[in-house]
Amino acid sequence: MEFLCIGLSHRTAPLGVRERLALPDARQVDLLQRLAQSPNEAFLVSTCNRVELYLAAPDMNRVRESARNELHTLGGPETLEHLYEHRGEDALVHLFRVASSLDSMVLGEAQILGQVKDAFERGQGSGAVRGELTRVCAAAFGCAKRVRTETAIGRAATSMASAAVALASKVFDGLKDKTVLLVGAGEMAELAARHLKQAGATKLLVANRTLARAEALAAEVGATARSFDELFTLLTAADVVVCSTASPVPIFTKENVGAVAKARKHRTLFMVDLAVPRDIAPEVGELDWVHAYDVDDIQKFVADNAAARAEEAQKAGVLVAQEVARFVRDRAVRNGVPVLAQLRQRGEAIARAEVDRTLAAIGDGLTDKQRKSVEAMARAIVNKLLHEPTARLRAVGPEHEGNRLAGAAAELFGLEEAPPSTETAGPNVVANGGKG
């Protein structure tokens, strides 16, 4: 089986392209089931900052073309200009870095690991993730845990939500006595609410299409739940609006936000959009009394904070390299085990046959002790002959080298079944010069 990561992220694609690939769960499952026809496997990581397909297949060229066609169909021709690809061991390195938050817009943020785990579980639930990708993801999650435990990369990390709150505080020189409206009641809204509380905001309102979810979040963070039908009445009173819904189209447009200008007396309004697709249309920022920001704007704001965690990121990168090397080494051993077993069985069968033939020719002229000595000598010869190839197959590092040796042993000794040896660990294939 060969591995491939294909996708785009905040590093290679603007928000307008990324949001076209933001699929609801049901459509993600449909996509995975099309790509993961047995023996192929697949899962999809889809966040506000990245859309990445991870694939395992014995014939990757065919699956790669299918994946590119699917992304092209979903996102349009422009999508292909922003895609990157990582193949073989490079795909493993990329996944381990993503899970460890080394490729995030906000270096060290903790949310991405949960998002990758959700993607893995969605793939398992749809039948698209089976044995191969299960082992890969288990190793990636273990790597992420090690990075969080052994480095300080997450201790001073700024999340998207906290960055949005910091930006709002900067605009208003503090949030005390400011009215903050949270539109949406999911995980991002909860994170934002907690950071708002820490920043001194006391007037928190939560509006969500499902009132019960708004009430649940409001009870948890000390806010007030309001009906979604009141949204534009609430907009009149709000100083800060934080959006994080799953709406497929913008909730706020230049027209409906502009309509409350008179009632607000053109008082400054700070709006930050943490959703993909966007909840706030780009044109809203053209209103001179509105400060509107989306996730790409937040990226620019947090860039200055990345330098403080650069040293920890270097340490984390070393850990990722170690964990990837461990995984490919263990995988090579797993792939070589069938050949080792067959090789030993073949050697023992030949030795047994020769011992039987020799003892039959000698007849009854040997004592039991002598017969056992002949049998022991035959086993010792087999063990000594197989010791070096066995040790080499167990000790190989790069996975393609393990497959090559196992395949060569199977061919040289005439074994019936060799392990899969189609995988290579080729270099990155990067579209348009991008990197994941």
Active site residue 5: no
The Cα 158–Cα 56 span in angstroms is 33
Amino acid at 64: R
Instruction: List residues bridging with 42 in a β-sheet.
Output: 55
Q: pTM to 2 decimals?
A: 0.67
Confidence of residue 434 (pLDDT cuts 50, 70, 90): very low
Torsion angles phi and psi, residue 53, rounded to 5: -100, 130
C-alpha to C-alpha distance for 218 and 225, rounded to whole angstroms: 6
- Does the annotation flag 271 for ligand binding? no
The string of pLDDT tens digits covering residues 142-191 is: 999 999 999 988 775 567 888 889 889 888 989 999 999 999 999 899 99
The reply, when asked if residue 47 is annotated as ligand binding, is yes
Whether 370 has a binding-site annotation, put simply, is no
Phi, psi of 11 (to 5 degrees): -80, -25
Does 115 appear as a known binding residue? yes
Mean pLDDT across the chain, nearest whole number?
86
Count the Cβ atoms, other than its own, within 10 Å of residue 109. Answer: 22
Distance CA 172, CA 219 (A): 26
CB 112, CB 104: distance < 8 Å:
yes
Distance CA(188)–CA(111), nearest Å, equals: 9
Q: Mutual orientation of helices 160-172 and 187-198 as an angle, nearest 10°?
A: 40
Query: How many CA atoms lie less than 13 Å away from 162 in the CB half-sphere?
Result: 13
Is position 109 annotated in a ligand binding site?
yes
The size of the chain, in residues, is: 436
CA-to-CA dists, residue 152 to 160, 161, 304, 309, 315, angstroms: 19, 20, 18, 8, 9
Residue 299 assigned as binding residue: no
pLDDT of residue 419: 40
> Residue 10: which of 51, 69, 68, 44 has the closest Cα?
51
For tokens 């400011």, name the residue: 178
Which are the contacts of 386, defined by CB distance < 8 A and separation ≥ 6? Answer: 343, 344, 347
Could you read off the pLDDT of 191-243 as tens digits, one per residue? 999 999 988 998 999 999 999 999 999 999 999 999 999 999 999 999 999 99
pLDDT of residue 391: 73
Which one is catalytic: 5, 48, 143, 243? 48
The H helix count followed by the E strand count for the chain is 17, 10
